[in-house]
Structure 1
Amino acid sequence: MISDTAAAPPQARLNRSVVLCVVLAVFAQESVWNFYDAQVPAQLRDYISSAGLVGLLMGLDNVFGVLVQPWMGFYTDRRARAKRGRWPVIGVGAVLCAVPFALIPWTDSLPALIACIAAFALIANGFKGTTETLVSDYVATTERGKAQGFVMAGVSLTVIVSSLISLLVVDRSVTLAFAIPPLLMLLMFAAAWAGLGRRHAQRFVNQPTADGQDFGSPWDVVKELIRDPSRTRLLLMLGTFCFAGMWNALRSLTTPYGMEVLGLTRGESGGLALPGAIAFLVAVVPIAYVSNRLGQVKAIQHGAGVFVAGLLIGFAAPDRAMTMVSMTVATVGYAVFAVNALVALWQLAPNNRVLGTYTGLYTVASASAMAAGPALLGAVVDVTGWRFMLLDAAVFGALTFALFTRLARRSTGRVSEPAVP
Structure 2
Amino acid sequence: MGKLNYKKTFLLGFGFFATSITWSVYNAFMPKLLSNFITSSAIIGFIMTFDNYFALFIQPAVGMYSDGIKTRFGRRMPFLMVGMPLAVLFIFLIPNYKGLATLVAALLLMNLSMSLFRSPVIALMPDITPEEERSKANSIINFMGGIGSLIAFFIGSILWNLSPKYPFYLAGALVLLSFIILFTCIKEKRDVINYEQAEKKINFKEGFKVAFKNPSTKFLLMAISAWFMGYNGIETFFTRYGEMYLGIDVSAAAFSFTFISLSFLVFAIPAGMIGTKLGKKKTITIGLIGAMAVFFILIFIKNILIIRVFFVALGIFWAMININSYPFVAQMSPIGYLGTFTGMYYLFSSIANIVSPPLLGVVFDLIGFKWMFAYGLFFMIIAFLFIRKVE
Q: When the two structures are superposed, what TM-score results if normalisation uses the length of structure 1? A: 0.80
Q: SS at the partner of 1:406?
A: coil
Q: Which letter does structure 1 place at the counterpart of 2:50?
A: L
1:189 equivalent in alignment to 2:166: no
* Contact map agreement 1:273 1:328 (CA 8 A) in 2: no
Between the aligned partners of 1:60 and 1:309, the Cα distance in structure 2 is: 31
Match of 2:290 in 1: 306
Structure 1 residues 80 and 360, CA, compared in 2 at 3 Å: closer, same or farther?
Answer: farther
Which of the residues 340, 344, 352 maps onto 2:335?
352
2:321 paired residue number: 337
Does residue 87 (structure 1) correspond to residue 77 (structure 2)? The answer is: yes
TM-superposition CA deviations, 1:177-221 (whole Å, max 9, x none): 644433332222222232222x6324215x89549xx66412321
Q: Tell me how far apart the structure 1 counterparts of residues 264 and 108 of structure 2 sit (CA, whole Å).
A: 31
Q: Deviations over 1:205-256 (max 9, x none)?
A: 5x89549xx6641232112333x2x411111100001111111234356567
| CA deviation vs aligned residue, 1:5-58 (integer Å, no higher than 9, x gap) | xxxxx2x22211111110122213433333333444444455445544333323
Cα distance in 2 between the residues matched to 1:60 and 1:102: 18
Question: Whole-Å Cα distance in 1 between the matches of residues 53 and 307 of structure 2?
Answer: 32
Encode CA deviations 1:150-195: one digit per residue, 9 max, x unaligned: 1112112112323465456556566666444333322222222322
1:123-134 correspondence runs (5 A)? 123-134=113-124
Residue type of the partner of 1:238?
A: M
> Which residue, out of 218, 221, 245, partners 2:207?
221
The amino acid of 1:73's aligned partner reads: G
The alpha carbon displacement at 1:352 in A equals 2.6
Using the alignment, how far apart are the partners of 2:330 and 2:318 within structure 1? 19
Larger deviation: 42-51 or 12-21? 42-51
Give distance in 2, aligned partners of 1:281 and 1:181.
18
Cα deviations across residues 330-366 of structure 1 (Å, max 9, x unaligned)? Answer: 33222211101111111101x2312112111111111
| Residue from 7, 13, 30 that aligns with 2:20 | 30
C-alpha separation in 2, matches of 1:387 and 1:224: 43
Asked whether 1:161 is paired with 2:151, we answer: yes
**Contact 1:309/1:329 (<8 A) preserved:** no
Q: Distance in 2 between matches of 1:245 and 1:175?
A: 29
Rounded Cα–Cα distance in structure 1 between residues aligned with 2:155 and 2:371 = 36
Decide whether the 8 Å contact of 1:13 with 1:143 is kept in 2: yes
2:190 equivalent to 1:201:
yes
Cα distance in structure 1, aligned partners of 2:70 and 2:95: 36
| 2:230/2:375 contact within 8 Å kept | no
Check whether the contact 1:45–1:54 (CA below 8 A) recurs between aligned residues.
Answer: yes
Q: Is the CA contact 1:311–1:394 (under 8 Å) kept in the aligned structure 2?
A: yes
In the other structure, the counterpart of 1:363 is 346
Is 1:372 the counterpart of 2:355 in the alignment?
A: yes
Structure 2 distance, partners of 1:30, 1:253, is 17
Q: What whole-Å deviation, never above 9, does each CA across 1:358-407 have from its counterpart, x for those lacking one?
A: 11111111121123235556767889887666456434423322321222
Pick the structure with greater CA Rg: 1
Cα distance in 1 for partners of 2:372, 2:41 equals 21
Give the Å deviation of 1:75.
1.2
Q: CA RMSD in A?
A: 3.4
Q: Which moved more, 1:24-33 or 1:298-307?
A: 24-33
Given that residues 311 and 327 in structure 1 are in contact (C-alpha distance below 8 angstroms), is that contact kept between their aligned partners in structure 2? no
Q: Distance in 2 between matches of 1:264 and 1:172?
A: 21
The answer as to 2:225 corresponding to 1:246 is no
Matches of 1:223 and 1:104, distance apart in 2: 39
CA displacement at 1:270 relative to structure 2: 5.7
Cα pair distance change 1:165/1:369, threshold 3 Å: same
For 2:68, the equivalent position in structure 1 comes to 78
* Aligned 8 A contact 2:16 2:144 in 1: yes
Could you say which residue in structure 2 is the equivalent of 1:398?
381
Q: How many percent of aligned residue pairs carry the same amino acid?
A: 22
TM-score normalised by L of structure 2: 0.85
Q: Number of aligned pairs?
A: 390
CA 1:96–1:146: 2 relative to 1, 3 Å: same
- Per the alignment, in what secondary structure is the counterpart of residue 18 of structure 1? helix
CA separation of 1:140 and 1:394: change in aligned 2, threshold 3 A: same
Instruction: Indicate the SS of the match to 2:186.
Output: helix
Return 5+ residue gaps in structure 1 as ranges.
1-9, 411-421
From 54, 57, 70, the counterpart of 1:64: 54
Give, in angstroms, the shift of residue 127 of structure 1: 0.8
The one-letter code matched in structure 1 to 2:387 is F
Larger displacement relative to structure 2 (396-405 or 307-316): 307-316
Please give the alpha-carbon distance, in whole angstroms, between the structure 2 residues aligned to 1:378 and 1:210. 43
Q: 1:219 to 1:115 in 2, by over 3 A?
A: same
* 1:117 matches 2:107: yes
> Does the Cα contact within 8 Å between 1:313 and 1:322 map onto a contact in 2?
no
Cα distance change, pair 390–48 in 1 and its aligned pair in 2 (3 A): closer
> What do residues 74-107 of structure 1 show as CA deviations (whole Å, max 9, x unaligned)?
1111136865331121012222332333233444
**Residues 268 and 319 in structure 2, CA contact (< 8 A), matched pair in contact too:** yes
